[in-house]
Structure 1
Amino acid sequence: MDDTGTTFSGSSQAALIDHDIAHIARVMPVSLRGDLGGPILPAAYWRKRLTKLLESGRLGPAQLRKVESLLLQLDQLASTPPPEWERFAPAAAPADAAKKLRSA
């Protein structure tokens, strides 16, 4: 959740935080699973977002529990080896090769 300096009432702010937490809960597992090229967004990205929410000091008790749960889920997802079929996926093309393909 980006802090744009806009001031919201307590209930609006809580709703925005709820929305952000729900979004992370929905998207994080899929993003970490990724595709044949690996994760779409790395675990470090999700850890930073969740940590920023914790450090905001604006979480209610239920929100705090959910963020802590997501951090545990993140640890588990990041430490779980990829499925068998993903271990044999072709390596991503080097950046120079990809650039040559785009310019051709």
Structure 2
Amino acid sequence: MNRRKTRLTDARRLALTDADIAHLRIAIESSVRDDHPALPPAYWRRRLNRLLRDENLLTTQMQQIVELLDRLGPARDADGA
């Protein structure tokens, strides 16, 4: 694979990760405000933790994910997380 194609792939992956983080931020904020959210905090934690396993995250992306995990509050056993 040539170097230029790899860079484009990396840029695309980073953009998709940014879009996923933005989506999760909106969904989590809505979920936190709702008394009866459609999806439990454990679901959002799993999604965020899956993103954290990406070894190619930028520092800012990692910080945003950690902030969202903090926003969800501590995991509870009832969450399954």
State the TM-score, normalizing by the size of structure 2: 0.74
Residue ranges of structure 2 left out of the alignment (5+ in a row)? 1-7, 77-81
For residues 69 and 20 of structure 2, what CA distance do their matches in structure 1 show? 14
Match of 1:25 in 2: 25
Q: Which ranges of 4 or more aligned residues in structure 1 deviate by more than 2 Å?
A: 31-35
Q: Which residue identity does 2:54 align to in structure 1?
A: S
For residues 65 and 32 of structure 1, what CA distance do their matches in structure 2 show? 19
For residues 67 and 32 of structure 2, what CA distance do their matches in structure 1 show? 16
Match of 1:64 in 2: 62
Give the counterpart of 1:39 among 37, 44, 67.
Answer: 37
Are 2:11 and 1:11 equivalent residues in the alignment?
yes
Is the CA contact (8 Å cut-off) linking 1:32 and 1:41 kept in structure 2? no
Is the CA contact (8 Å cut-off) linking 1:32 and 1:40 kept in structure 2? no
Rg larger for? 1
Are 2:53 and 1:74 equivalent residues in the alignment?
no
**Identity over aligned pairs, percent:** 39
For residues 48 and 33 of structure 1, what CA distance do their matches in structure 2 show? 19
CA-to-aligned-CA distance 1:1-36 (integer Å, 9 cap, x gap): xxxxxxx7000000000000000011112124335x
State the TM-score, normalizing by the size of structure 1: 0.59
Residue ranges of structure 1 left out of the alignment (5+ in a row)? 1-7, 80-104
Match of 1:95 in 2: none
Q: Which residue identity does 1:53 align to in structure 2?
A: L
Root mean square deviation of aligned Cα: 2.1
Match of 1:54 in 2: 52
